[in-house]
Structure 1
Amino acid sequence: MVIKGFKGLAAAGMLLLGACGIAYQSPSVNPLGGGDTKVRVLRITPESAIVANRAGYAPKELPSIFFNTAGGGAVQPGGGAAPAPVVDYQNRPSSMQTRVPPAPNEGPYRIGVGDVLLLATPQIGSTVEQLTGLLAAANSRQGYTVQDDGAIAIPHVGRVPVSGSTLEEAENTLFQRLVETDIEPTFSLEVAEFNSKKVSIGGAVQNPSVAPITLTPLYLDEALAAAGGVNAADLDYASVRIYRDGTIYQIPLDALYSNRSLARVQLTDGDVVFVDTAYELDRAQAYFEERIRLAEFRQGARIAALNELNAEVGLRRGALGEARDNYMTRLELDSVDRDYVYLTGEVDSQARYALPFGRTASLADALYENGGVPTQTGNVREIYVLRGSPDPREFGAITAWQLDGRDAASFLLATRFEMRPNDVIFVAEQPVTRWSRVISQITPSLVTYAASAASN
Structure 2
Amino acid sequence: MRGRVVVRGGRSWLRKYRAASSLNRLCALLIAGLLPACSVIPGSHLSMPAMTWFQKDAASETADIDVNFVAITPGLISEMGAQPRLIEPLSAMQQLQRESELQAYQYRIGRGDTLNITVYEHPELTIPAGSFRSAEEGGNQVGPDGTFYFPYAGMVEALGKTTQEVRNVLVTRLSRVIEQPQVDVKVVGFQSQKVYVSGEVVRPAVVPIKTTPLTLIEAISEVGGLGVLADWRHIQLTRDGIGKQIDLRAILEDGDWRNNVMLRGGDILHIPRNDSQKIYVMGEVRQPSAVLIGRDSVTLTQAIAEAGGIDEAQANARGIFVLRNAEKRVLENGKARYMATVYQLDASSASGFLLANEFHLRPRDVVYITAAPVARWNRLITQLLPSLIFTDQAQGLE
Q: Is the shorter-chain TM-score for this pair beyond 0.5, marking a shared fold?
A: no
- TM-score normalised to structure 2 length: 0.37
- TM-score normalised to structure 1 length: 0.33
Considering only CA atoms, is the larger Rg found in Structure 1 or Structure 2? 1
